[in-house]
C-alpha cells in the first residue's frame, strides 16, 4: 500500500530544511526539487524492508546526484531505517549522515555516490546482476540533468539498452539549473527525449513535482526496454526564495530564511 501524499511531501521538505539549517552546509535546491520522486519511491513503490535493508532480492535505488543526500536521508528516516532525530547530525563529525550517501554507514543506502556521472553505470550493473541471479528486483536511478553532460552516462545508457534491461528505470531530475548556471548556457542538453529514444530507452515526460504523475510513471509495469522518466522539476521547489534560482544549488537557510520557508511549506 502506498503511503504517499502532498502532506508527506511537505514533511520531507521540512526535514530537508531542518537538517540543512542545523548543519549550516549542504544543497537545498536539488534536494527540494526531487521530493515528490523520493516520496513516491520510499512511500511504497520500492520493495524494501527497513528490518532487512540488505535483502538480496529487494528493489534498489541509486542516488546518482549524491549531493541531494538530504532528500534521501529524509525519506529513509520516514521509513524508519534510522531514528529521525539523527537527521540533525547531518554533516557533523562522527555522523553517518554525511554530505554524500555512504552505503557502508547508512541503513537503506544501496550505493555510495557523489562523483557525478557514475550512477547510471552502477544501476546498469545492479540491473544486470539481479537479473543474472534470477531476482525480480527493479533498479531505479535518479540523475541530475546537468550530470548528463558526463560522457559516462551515455556509455551506460548504451549498455543498458544493449542488454535489454527492462528492470532499470532512469529518472532525470530536469530542473534546468546546475551549479554554474542554466544548463542551456553551460552545456545545452538538447532534446533529451529524442536522445534516450535513440539510445534504445522507453521514454516518458512528466511534471516531476506533480505527485500523481510521478507515481503513475514510476509504478508502471516494466516493458521490454529500460525506461527513462524525464521529470521536469523546479529547483528549490516549495521555497519562494530558492525556486528557479541558480544560487539555491548549495544554499542553506539562515534563521530568518528557515522560519520563512517553514511557514511557506505549511
Domain boundaries of the chain, sorted by first residue: 6-265
Q: Which of 1-10, 37-46, 121-130, 157-166 has the lowest mean pLDDT?
A: 1-10
Q: Residue 2: what pLDDT?
A: 65
Mean per-residue pLDDT over the chain, rounded = 96
Give the H/E segment covering residue 29.
helix 29-33
Q: Residue 91: what pLDDT?
A: 97
User: Is the confidence at residue 4, as pLDDT, over 90?
Assistant: no
> Across residues 65-82, what is the average pLDDT?
97
**pLDDT tens-digit series, residues 115-132:** 999 999 999 999 999 999
User: Is the confidence at residue 1, as pLDDT, over 80?
Assistant: no
CA distance 231 to 76: 21
Distances in whole angstroms, Cα of residue 192 to Cα of each of 118, 151, 167, 181:
18, 14, 21, 19
User: Is the confidence at residue 234, as pLDDT, over 90?
Assistant: yes
> What CATH homologous superfamily does 6-265 map to?
Thiamin diphosphate (ThDP)-binding fold, Pyr/PP domains (3.40.50.970)
Strand-pairing partners, residue 182, are 177
CA distance 47 to 21: 32
Q: pTM for the complete prediction?
A: 0.96
Amino acid at each position: 500500500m502506498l503511503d504517499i501524499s502532498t502532506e508527506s511531501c511537505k514533511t520531507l521538505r521540512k526535514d530537508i530544511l531542518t537538517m540543512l539549517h542545523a548543519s549550516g552546509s549542504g544543497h537545498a535546491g536539488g534536494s527540494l526539487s526531487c521530493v515528490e520522486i523520493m516520496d513516491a519511491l520510499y512511500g511504497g513503490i520500492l520493495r524494501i524492508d527497513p528490518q532487512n535493508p540488505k535483502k538480496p532480492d529487494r528493489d534498489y535505488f541509486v542516488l546518482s546526484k549524491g549531493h541531494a543526500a538530504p532528500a534521501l536521508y529524509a525519506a529513509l528516516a520516514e521509513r524508519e531505517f534510522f531514528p529521525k532525530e539523527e537527521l540533525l547530525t547531518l554533516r557533523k563529525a562522527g555522523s553517518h549522515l554525511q554530505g554524500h550517501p555512504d552505503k557502508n554507514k547508512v541503513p537503506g543506502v544501496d550505493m555510495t555516490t557523489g562523483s557525478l556521472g557514475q550512477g547510471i553505470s552502477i544501476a546498469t550493473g545492479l540491473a544486470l546482476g539481479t537479473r543474472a541471479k534470477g531476482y525480480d528486483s527493479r533498479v531505479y536511478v535518479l540523475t541530475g540533468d546537468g550530470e548528463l553532460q558526463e560522457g559516462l552516462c551515455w556509455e551506460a545508457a548504451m549498455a543498458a539498452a544493449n542488454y535489454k534491461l527492462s528492470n532499470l528505470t532512469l529518472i532525470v531530475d530536469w530542473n534546468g539549473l546546475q551549479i554554474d548556471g542554466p544548463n542551456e548556457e553551460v552545456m545545452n542538453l538538447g532534446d533529451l527525449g529524442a536522445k534516450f529514444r535513440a539510445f534504445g530507452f522507453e521514454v516518458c515526460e512528466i511534471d516531476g513535482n506533480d505527485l500523481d504523475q510521478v507515481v503513475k510513471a514510476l509504478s508502471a509495469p516494466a516493458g521490454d526496454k529500460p525506461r527513462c522518466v524525464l521529470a521536469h522539476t523546479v529547483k528549490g521547489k516549495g521555497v519562494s526564495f530558492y525556486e528557479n534560482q541558480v544560487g539555491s544549488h548549495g544554499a542553506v537557510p539562515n534563521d530568518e530564511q528557515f522560519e520563512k520557508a517553514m511557514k511557506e511549506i505549511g
